[in-house]
Amino acid sequence: MEFITSSEKETKLLASKFSKKLKTGDVVLLIGPLGAGKTVFAKGILKGLGEKEDSVRSPSFTLIREYHTKQGKVYHIDLYRLRRKEELINLGYQDYFYSPSAVVLVEWANKVEGLIPKGKKVIIDFLGINKRRIKIIE
């Protein structure tokens, strides 16, 4: 499926609707260039799962944030600062990526292909200042 959004609000709304299809054990691979809206999409998913929007923070510096939403546990992982796949291995990534009791959101998933399970891909591309093309491959 492919969508065009024209604002951050529209992107979050799309993500919130997408979240209704998610269940524990699902992995969402968020792919796109820097500033494309991966974190915005993740915030929309978390909001759709019942998390308060103002409590959602980018895990860029911590790598992993854990949320306990109304729908269950969510791991939000940002691999932007990851320099080598070995860093992820040292974190015990299997506990997160293969958790049957959580939804897993992975920003910059393309950096560690081969280490993480196949999941639902969300590919975000710039079309203009606020305009984004969002492809969802389930």
- Residues 103, 114 contacting (CB under 8 angstroms): no
The mean pLDDT value for 54-80 works out to: 79
What local confidence, expressed as pLDDT, does residue 60 receive?
60
Please indicate whether residue 70 or residue 25 has the higher confidence score (pLDDT): 25
Total domains, the chain: 1
Ranges 19-33, 47-61, 101-115, most confident: 19-33
Is 53's pLDDT higher than 80?
no
CATH at residue 119:
3.40.50.300
Which domain does 110 fall in, by range?
A: 2-137
Q: Is 15 left (phi over 0), alpha (psi -120 to 50) or beta?
A: alpha
The mean pLDDT value for 64-85 works out to: 84
